[in-house]
Amino acid sequence: MFATSRYISPIVNIRRERTLPIPGKILVRRGQSVNAMDPIAEGILNPKHLVLNIARGLGVSVGEVDQHLQCGEGVQLLKGDIIAGPVGRSRRVVRAPESGRVIQIATGKILYEIETIPFQLKAGLSGNVVEIISNRGAVVETTGALIQGVWGNELIGSGNLVVRADTSDEVLSANKLDTSLRGTIVAVGTCENEDVLKTAESLPLRGLIFASMRPDLIPTAVEIKVPVILIEGYGNCPMNAAAFELLTRNNGHTVCVNAQAWDRYKGTRPEIVIPKLHLEGKASTDVIMSFCPDQTVRVTRAPNAGQIGRLVNLIGYAVMPSGIRTQAAEVLMENDLVNVVPLANLEILE
């Protein structure tokens, strides 16, 4: 059986392809150093269009419109610029309702695209631009620690890491967030209160890293302007030992948080990168691997969700307490007990 690999590594070489979903303008050059919040490309994701009825606006027939036009297709206009006219004693004109561009002229009408602020694609991590992807984006490379999670609210942040917990299951309360944390990225065990998220936004923080969070808090986490990453998932699950130890060890260091969605097909996960540009590491890719003995694995579902262990033996098919017959393995857990765990409930840690 195959398993998805997840990286929780103190040192790894990281290459990330950052691209727009539509053609746009590249803002960086190859070899340039970038920070996580630096824009590397921009484009109009959701252009707004209007259909302007020129014939009706001037009070003329469709056939007469062309002789009164003051611009052609592709012309950029400012708000208030004359598109057509003047006509008649009243000197009737049609003006641009907003700054924008004439897309098409046909049958006495104009398709007009309103000028909007372009979406700027951020680098997502601090590093060097090693490749330009024409009209789409760039590949950014860095070396450092990498922790991948399971859920994010689609925002990006960068700041100094503050581990606000003594244990991996400590619950964060709003009164633990004060102005001394402004501009930092806070890592804790779990989140059980909406006030925590709202306080984080009001300070503001530059990121929140939780082991887990109550599922009913997802709408608030999506709404706030602070990046949120879950390492383990929903509910009340403590952070795995490897991730908690790595965060604690790098307390006070600058970290980059990319709370992108987990997409199995694209190979993307929400992740925390702690750049260490002077070090060398191994290549990082989200790969599919086969289970085999001696691998470090993480249990993804109850009753041992979040725990890390060593895969001791593949035992083929086994009947679980639920009565389901499935492929399973013997896993030596952190408490030195060997548990039989379905392979579907395991992921490989790199």
> Cα(234)–Cα(62) distance, rounded to whole angstroms?
60
pLDDT at 77: 95
- Going through 54-108 in order, the beta strands assigned E by DSSP cover 76-77, 82-87, 92-95, 100-106
> Cα(273)–Cα(335) distance, rounded to whole angstroms?
29
- Distances from the Cα of 148 to the Cα of 153, 156, 188, 272, angstroms: 14, 14, 15, 6
pTM of the model: 0.75
pLDDT at 191: 94
What is the residue whose two structure tokens read 């598109």? Answer: 83
Q: Which domains does the chain have, with CATH numbers?
A: 2-43+121-284 (no CATH), 48-114 (2.40.50), 291-349 (2.30.30.30)
User: Which one, of 167, 337, 185, lies nearest residue 240 by Cα?
Assistant: 167
What is the residue whose two structure tokens read 């024409």? Answer: 134
Pairing of strands 325-333, 338-342: antiparallel
pLDDT at 50: 95
3-state SS assignment for residue 176: helix
pLDDT at 300: 82
- Residue count of the chain, please give it: 350
* Cα Rg of the chain, angstroms: 27
pLDDT at 289: 60
What tens-digit pLDDT sequence spans the chain (350 residues)? 556 677 888 888 999 999 999 999 999 999 999 999 999 999 998 889 999 999 999 999 999 999 999 999 999 999 999 999 999 888 999 999 999 999 999 999 999 999 999 999 999 999 999 999 999 999 999 999 999 999 999 999 999 999 999 999 999 999 999 999 999 999 999 999 999 999 999 999 999 999 999 999 999 999 999 999 999 989 988 998 889 999 999 999 999 999 999 887 777 899 999 998 544 444 344 444 678 888 888 888 878 888 889 999 988 888 888 888 888 899 999 888 899 998 888 888 87
> Cα(250)–Cα(133) distance, rounded to whole angstroms?
33
pLDDT at 157: 96
- State the DSSP H helix or E strand holding residue 146, giving kind and residue range, or none if neither: strand 137-148
Q: Is the Cβ–Cβ distance between 112 and 51 less than 8 Å?
A: yes
